[in-house]
Amino acid sequence: MEFGTALYDFTAGGDDEMSLVTGEELEIEYEVDGWFYVKKVSPGWDGKIAGLVPVLYVSRS
């Protein structure tokens, strides 16, 4: 299991993507084509707890 932290805010552009707020703690499930599939340690403001986010927006712990 790998963890990371959101480096920047990110607004989801599709149903499979997930919005991020800087500083959110994430569990990284896997990487595909420049995207991480992550789960939030705590549910976000939008209620979504898992989805794709750009690799460059996440710092691995």
- pLDDT in single tens digits along all 61 residues of the chain: 899 999 999 999 999 999 999 999 999 999 999 999 999 987 766 667 899 999 999 999 8
Q: Which residue has the tokens 């979504």?
A: 48
- Can you tell me the distance from the alpha carbon of 27 to that of 6, in angstroms, rounded to the nearest whole number? 11
Whichever domain contains 8, its CATH number is 2.30.30.40
Q: How many domains does one find in the chain?
A: 1
Residue 37 sits in which domain range?
2-60
Please, which residues have CB within 8 angstroms of residue 3's CB and are 6 or more apart in sequence? 25, 26, 27, 28, 41, 60, 61
Does the global pTM surpass 0.75? yes
Nearest to 58 by CA among 14, 17, 21, 16: 21
> Which tokens sit at 30?
């896997």
- Can you tell me the distance from the alpha carbon of 18 to that of 39, in angstroms, rounded to the nearest whole number? 9
